[in-house]
Structure 1
Amino acid sequence: MKVIKSEQQWRELLSPESYQVTRQKGTERAFTGEYWDHFQPGIYTCVACGTPLFASDTKFDAGCGWPSYFEPLNPQNVREETDTSHGMVRTEVLCNVCDAHLGHVFPDGPPPTGLRYCINSLSLRFDPAE
Structure 2
Amino acid sequence: MVIDRRNLLLGGTALAGLAAFAYFRPMGAARAAEGDFPYKLTEAQWRAKLSPEAYVVLREEGTERPFTSPLLDEHREGIFACAGCDQPLFKSETKFDSGTGWPSFYDFIPGALGTREDNSFGMTRVSLHCSNCGGHQGHVFEDGPPPTGLRYCIDGVSLQFIPA
TM interval, short-chain normalised: over 0.9
TM-score w.r.t. the length of structure 1 is 0.96
SS of 1:64's equivalent in the other structure is: coil
Query: Is 1:117 paired with 2:123?
Result: no
Query: What count of residue pairs does the alignment treat as equivalent?
Result: 128
User: Any stretches of 5+ residues in structure 2 without a counterpart?
Assistant: 1-36
Aligned equivalent of 1:35: 71
Letter in 2 for 1:66: W
Alignment counterpart, residue 86 of structure 1, candidates 112, 117, 121: 121
Backbone CA RMSD of aligned residues: 0.9
Tell me the distance in 2 between the aligned counterparts of 1:37 and 1:86. 29
Superposed displacement of residue 77, structure 1: 1.1
Aligned equivalent of 1:98: 133
Tell me the distance in 2 between the aligned counterparts of 1:127 and 1:92. 24
SS of 2:73's equivalent in the other structure is: coil
Tell me the distance in 1 between the aligned counterparts of 2:99 and 2:85. 28
Superposed displacement of residue 37, structure 1: 2.2
Superposed displacement of residue 35, structure 1: 1.0
Alignment counterpart, residue 65 of structure 1, candidates 90, 101, 114: 101
Structure holding more strand per residue: 1
Tell me the distance in 1 between the aligned counterparts of 2:139 and 2:112. 15
Larger radius of gyration: 2
Q: Greater relative contact order: 1 or 2 (C-alpha under 8 angstroms, separation 6 or more)?
A: 1
SS of 1:49's equivalent in the other structure is: coil
